[in-house]
Amino acid sequence: MEVAVIDNGSINNPFLQSDGFRAFAELVVLLGSSTKTNDKLSALQDYFAVANDKDKIWVIAIFTGRRPKRAVNSTQLQTWCNELTNLPSWLFEESYHTVGDLAETIALLLPQHEDMVNQNLPLHYYIEQLGQLEKAEEAVKKTFVVDNWMQMSMAERFVFNKLITGGFRIGISQKMMVNALAKTTGTEASLIAHRISGNWNPATTSFEELLFNSSNEIDYSKPYPFYLAYALEAGPETLGNPEEWQAEWKWDGIRGQLIKRNNELFVWSRGEELVTDKFPEYHALKDLLPDGIVLDGEIIPSKDGMPLPFAIMQTRIGRKNVTKKQLQEAPISFFVYDLLEYNHEDWRNRPLQERRSQLEELLQQVNSPTMILSPIIDFSSWDELVDMRKLSREKGAEGFMLKRKSSIYQVGRKVGDWWKWKIDPLVIDAVMIYAQKGHGRRSNLYTDYTFAVKDGDKLVTFTKAYSGLTDKEFNEVDSFVKRNSIEKFGPVRTVKPELVFEIAFEGIAASNRHKSGVALRFPRISRWRKDKKPDEINTLDDLKKLLEVYGK
Amino acid sequence: MPLINFTDKGLYCPQGDFYIDPWKPVNKAIITHAHSDHARFGSSYYLCHHHTKPILKLRLGDNHYQGVEWNEAVYMNGVKVTLHPAGHIIGSSQIRVEYNDEVWVVSGDYKTENDGISGQFEAVKCHVFITESTFGLPIYNWKAQEQIYADIQQWIQSNQAEQKSSVLIAYSLGKAQRVLQAASKVSNNIYVHGAIWNTQQVLLENGWDFPIVKRITPETTKEELKNCVVIAPPSADASPWMKRFNPYSVGICSGWMQVRGNARRNNVDAGFALSDHADWKGLLDAVKATGAEKVFVTHGFQAAFSRYLNENGIAADEVKTAYGNDEEAVETTNDMSDIDTTHQPID
């Protein structure tokens, strides 16, 4: 359907007769409703074929997580919406909980007009105007927002609000954007991936500069797209001859790239975020590393070369400034396992074996407790590796990475040469006691649950989990919640403690932020234990035992 | 004693000794409309609008049914009962109950827009109004029917241009007939699922006029189905039954499609917010038009809607019924089974 609308656009679809904001709004609607990757891809390509260059740049930026600065906050949006609609704020809240998205809630609540005629200005006009509003007085902001609301259709309002609130989560992966641009420009996808990564400013970069590299100015910080592994579902023997494979521990940190170019140091996280300033521990490496080098590894807290639980790092992620205390309690090191650029030269097309030996040589020169060479596991048969994998938790690892020794460093998630082979998660049986509605796709459905274990005759909450059930199961639990609510606190329902679930998680650490005294890593629902009664669930003591074994 | 009590079997009028839309078997049941969460089996005597009667027969089998005209008075132990158009589906009625100059009206399900099939909703003056609130939040404001029909037609046409069939998911009683009206303007190759076919046959036998449709049978060939329009109930969506239409696009017709998340959760290509229930404005207009001193709000967003009424000078209370589930009963089409199930809220 989506493609057809675009194709017929020039004939009978007024939305696409120009390349302005309507075309962008239409694109967002198409991308948001489409269920097929190919349709999304064509929608993007068709948009790129008609849109003006400045708008294109912003679309690339927005869909790869580079959103414009927030000029207006959500409280303001909500207040102005309530004034326009004359609705009480509790009813706005009630609506918001049902819709699950602020921008959409407002777009739905605002009065609709029959013939909305706006000037269909370009997307970048709105972004620039919003940018200028950042420091303006509230009254000026309000006039701008309200005037635009009153001129826009429901779809345009939604998109306009999204520009303000940020976060277009409409299922456009970096990969899809890269593919659409590759097709549009006739350039190889891996080149595009590299060009649109890194630190560029959509306000000052032109489409030409970004995609055709015509700029004279070199961006020294630019990382390479990460090569990602798929999970190995079958046994390792399916990979063939063990001699062709290299095994490393799989660390539970933040995947990162450490770059030194032009005598400057840059650190990128896998989320394409420049995080150099967050990890001052790394700054000394600038003087130890040779210039023109890019390393791939794991950002991870450690002590004496041993990784510490991820939870320790969580105390400082997200903080703008790192305190001395945090530096002492969660010293961060870089567990390096690959060499992508050496002596200013792109090494990604060389086999892993070659990259690895150069990396090892390099590490001998760099003598720093911050930079740790992620070891290669010596093994001669898969059986041997199966046994060693059992030691993962003791080593602070989540299993193994298996990499083909001859593999080049590819772009994105690719099947074949790199596999992550994780250990089975820890599990605990718990009962659901709170439920809350989800967001986006799950709005208006109780999908966010809080779980408790037994402590004597009391129940103690210890984790939330949002994923792991099928849509059908979610519907079933949702209907249980609606029929078995005991109390209502805002959006949260207290539910009769009856449904038992097995909660799986990757790690456990002590925490004083939770009643139970533990914090879990990656908790999710692994099974609905319909066979178990609430009095058969695990106890707080069981959790504490797990903490004793795995969390210290 | 109130004229109508809220009991565990349903809305009960002690003076007239009858129930309205009981969810358990009773002696005398007055039925607002033939949807399965309002019309349940097992009662000894059913009173309903004469358009509802044949559909009840189809769904509940042979029973003692009495069909009446709108505004035709029936007296039960001195209580005057009349039915008035609710505009929800064919035959759907509000039940007006009068005794000793006191008037209560039970809305059943209703919509205020005239869909051209179900009759124009009539505002009935009363002292106490018992209203549904399926879409009782201000985010639910429907586009005009002709606009949504145009959207559906445009969608079908773009599918046709792409050589794809258009599968429209619509509840078999009510929505399917409306969708058929819309689709018949742009296609003369329309197929329906067996559940919709059965309903359609009963309606045709009773003098209704609908565009010609074909029933999908195991013998229907792929060639015949090329580029067609299919109308199917929610139970068919995402089932293997759909495979025969390949290539096709799916569009769900339901008020719940107003919110993007619902459409995305159902993983459909298109959602059309076409509802047989009143939207926010429709509910407010209806409540005000009754002039009621007291309003009871049932199935839907009853907490929010009754609170809003109270804050706006209309005394209201929420009441739990077995229509739908509770306050947020949502028809998520993928857990809604076919016409024979009894516990789903219907839009």
Task: Please tell me if residue B102 touches chain A, with a CB cutoff of 8 Å.
Answer: no
Of A85, A108, A441, the CB nearest to B265: A441
Point out the least confidently predicted range of A125-134, A188-197, B131-140, B322-331. B322-331
**Helix or strand or coil: residue B77?**
coil
Alpha-carbon torsion (A433, A434, A439, A444), positive or negative:
positive
Q: Is residue A307 part of a domain?
A: yes
Of B263, B271, B332, the CB nearest to A475: B332
Q: Are residues A154 and A180 in the same domain?
A: no
Answer whether B259 sits within 8 Å of A33, measured CB to CB.
Answer: no
What confidence score (pLDDT) does residue A441 get? Answer: 59
| C-alpha atoms less than 13 angstroms from C-alpha of B294 in its C-beta half-sphere | 12
Q: Given a cut of 70, is residue A272 above it in pLDDT?
A: no
Give A403-440 pLDDT, tens digit per residue: 999 999 998 888 889 999 988 888 999 999 999 887 76
| pLDDT tens figures, B135-173 | 999 999 999 999 999 999 999 999 999 999 999 999 989
CB neighbours (10 Å) of residue A303? Answer: 12
Helix (H) or strand (E) holding B13: strand B11-13
Mean pLDDT on A74-91: 94
A440·B264 Cβ contact <8 A: yes
H helix and E strand count, chain B = 8, 19
- Interface contact flag, A1 B137, Cβ < 8 Å: no
Within an 8 Å CB–CB cutoff, is residue A98 touching chain B? yes
Query: Is A442–B249 a contact, with Cβ atoms under 8 angstroms apart?
Result: no
Q: Say which residue, A252 or A294, is predicted with more confidence.
A: A294
CATH class label, B145-272: alpha beta
* Residue B281: closest C-alpha in chain A: A111
* Facing residue for B262 by CB, picked from A444, A475, A483: A444
Name the more confident of A295 and B172. Answer: A295
Angstroms from A98 CA to nearest CA on chain B: 9
Residues A83 and A17 both lie in one domain: no
**Least CA distance to A471: which residue of chain B?**
B265
Q: Which two tokens stand for residue B13?
A: 């009028």
Strands annotated E in A9-141: none
**Look-up of token digits 């949807």:** B35
In a domain, A457, yes or no: yes
Asked if residue A120 belongs to a domain, the reply is: yes
Q: Is A86 on the interface with B (CB under 8 A)?
A: no
A67 pLDDT more than 80: no
Using a CB-CB distance cutoff of 8 angstroms, which residues of chain B are in contact with residue A3? 162
Distance (Å, whole) CA A157 – CA A110: 9
Q: How far apart are CA A377 and CA A382, in angstroms?
A: 12
pLDDT at A515 > cutoff 60: yes
The H or E element spanning position A175 is helix A174-185
Amino acid A318: pLDDT? 63
Query: Domain of A537?
Result: 426-550
What secondary structure does DSSP assign to A271-330, as a single string? TTEE-GGG-GGGGGHHHHSPSSEEEEEEEEEEETTEEPPHHHHHTTTT-SS--HHHHHHS
Percent helix, strand, coil in chain A, to 5, is 40, 25, 35
Interface A–B counts its CB contacts (< 8 A) at 114
**Chain B contact for A362 (CB, 8 A cutoff):** no
Mean pLDDT of chain A: 86
Per the model's pLDDT, the better-predicted residue between B308 and A395 turns out to be B308
pLDDT given for residue A66 in this prediction:
76
Domain locations in chain B? 5-140+276-335, 145-272
Q: What pLDDT is recorded for position A56?
A: 92
**E-strand stretches of A194-244:** 227-228, 230-231
Mean pLDDT of A277-286: 88
On the question of pLDDT at B346 being above 70, the answer is no
B138/A90 touch (CB, cutoff 8 Å), yes or no? no
Sheet arrangement for strand B64-68: B5-6, B11-13, B18-20, B28-30, B45-49, B64-68
Give the pLDDT mean for A233-251: 93
Q: Is A305 exposed, middle or buried (0-12, 13-18, 19+ CB in 10 A)?
A: exposed
Give residue A294's pLDDT band: very low, low, confident or very high (50, 70, 90). very high
Point out the least confidently predicted range of A166-170, A480-484, A491-495, B165-169: A166-170
- Residues A418, A430 within the same domain: no
- Please indicate whether, in this complex, the C-beta atoms of A476 and B335 are within 8 angstroms of each other: yes
Which residue has better confidence, A246 or B344?
A246
What is the DSSP secondary structure assignment for residue B51, as one 8-state letter? T
Q: Which of A381, A405, A422 is the last residue of a domain?
A: A422
CB proximity B341 to A under 8 Å: no
Class of the CATH-defined domain B5-140+276-335: alpha beta
Q: What is the pLDDT of residues B117-139, one digit of tens each?
A: 999 999 999 999 999 999 999 99
The CA–CA distances, whole Å, from B81 to B20, B56, B73, B138 equal: 11, 20, 6, 33
Of residues B139, B155, B263, nearest to A95 (C-beta): B139
If you average pLDDT over residues A144-167, what whole number do you get? 90
A407 shares contact with chain B (CB less than 8 Å): no
B265 vs B175, more confident: B175
What is the reported pLDDT for A4? 34
Q: What are phi and psi of A284, to 5 degrees?
A: -65, -25
Domain boundary among A390, A422, A454: A422
B86 touches chain A (CB under 8 A): no
Digit-coded pLDDT (tens) for B322-338: 675 322 233 332 222 22
Render A432-456 in DSSP notation, one character per residue.
Answer: EEEEEE--GGGTTSEEEEEEEEEET
State whether A339 and A443 are in the same domain.
no
The H or E element that residue B12 is part of is strand B11-13
A221 lies in some domain: no
User: What is each CA distance from A295 to A289, A484, B255, in whole angstroms?
Assistant: 10, 53, 53
Q: If you average pLDDT over residues A306-329, what whole number do you get?
A: 75
Measure CB to CB from residue B334 to each of A3, A98, A475 and give the nearest one.
A475
Residue of A442 and A197 predicted with greater confidence:
A197
Closest CA to A84 of A106, A116, A68: A106
Q: Give the model confidence (pLDDT) of B240-255 as tens digits.
A: 888 899 999 999 999 9
* pLDDT for A198 beyond 80: no
Last residue of a domain, one of A387, A422, A457: A422
Interchain pair A99, B155: CB under 8 A = no
Q: What is the structure's pLDDT at B326?
A: 26
Helices (H), A297-422: 310-314, 324-329, 352-365, 382-389
Shared domain for A280 and A207, answered yes or no, is no
Looking at the structure, tell me whether residues A430 and A381 fall in a common domain.
Answer: no
Question: Would an 8 Å CB–CB cutoff place A34 in contact with chain B?
Answer: yes
B137 and A444 within 8 Å at the Cβ level: the answer is: no
For residues A204 and A246, membership in a common domain is answered with no
DSSP state of B276: S
Domain CATH number, residue A524: 2.40.50.140
What average pLDDT does this structure show over B32-47? 93
Amino acid making up residue A552: K
Q: Would you say how long chain B is, in residues?
A: 347
A contacts of B159 (beta carbons < 8 Å): 1, 4
| Cis amide linkage into residue B247, ω under 30° from 0 | yes
Encode A105-157 in three state secondary structure.
Answer: HHHHHCCCCCCCCCCCCCHHHHHHHHHHHCCCCHHHHHHHHHHHHHHCCHHHH
Of A326-340, B12-26, B165-179, B181-195, the one with minimum mean pLDDT is A326-340
Averaged over A232-250, what is the pLDDT?
Answer: 93
Q: Which residue of B has its CA nearest to A28?
A: B260
Give the residue-averaged pLDDT of B285-312. Answer: 94
What mean pLDDT do residues A262-290 have? Answer: 86
Given this model, what pLDDT does residue B324 score? 57
Beta bridge partners of A334: A299, A371
Domains of chain A: total: 4
**Residues A203 and A294 occupy one common structural domain:** no
Rounded CA gap, A475 and A347, in Å? 50
SS3 content of chain B, % helix, strand, coil (to 5): 25, 25, 50
Does pLDDT of A130 surpass 70? yes
Q: What CATH code is carried by the domain that includes residue A355?
A: 3.30.470.30
Residue the block writes with tokens 């009759």: B119
Average confidence (pLDDT) over A120-144: 91
Higher-pLDDT residue of A200, A148 = A148
pLDDT of residue B5: 95
Q: Which of B116, B341, B109, B329 is nearest to B234 (CA)?
A: B341
Task: Tell me the chain B residues in contact with residue A100 when contact means C-beta distances shorter than 8 Å.
Answer: 259, 261
Query: Are residue A194 and residue A95 in the same domain, yes or no?
Result: no
| Per-residue model confidence (pLDDT) at position A320 | 61
Nearest neighbour of A35 by CB, restricted to B138, B261, B267: B267
**Separation between Cα atoms, residue B271 and residue B168, nearest integer Å:** 9
Whether residue B81 is predicted with pLDDT greater than 70 in this model: the reply is yes
A222 within domain boundaries: no
Residues A282 and A139 placed together within one structural domain of the fold:
no
Report the C-alpha gap between A379 and A249 in whole angstroms. Answer: 13
pLDDT for the residue numbered B86: 97
- Asked whether residue A219 is assigned to any structural domain, the reply reads no
Same domain, A175 and A240: no
pLDDT confidence band for A217 (50 / 70 / 90) = low
Q: pLDDT tier at A293 (50, 70, 90 boundaries)? A: very high
Which range, of A201-210, A316-325, A348-357, A512-521, averages the lowest pLDDT?
A316-325
Q: What is the pLDDT of residue A467?
A: 81
Mean pLDDT of A324-331: 79
B213/B230 Cα distance (integer angstroms): 9
Question: Both A117 and A83 in a single domain?
Answer: yes
| Residue range A325-353: mean pLDDT, rounded | 92
B127 Cβ under 8 Å from any chain A Cβ: no
Specify whether the backbone of A535 is left (phi greater than 0), alpha (psi in -120 to 50) or beta: alpha
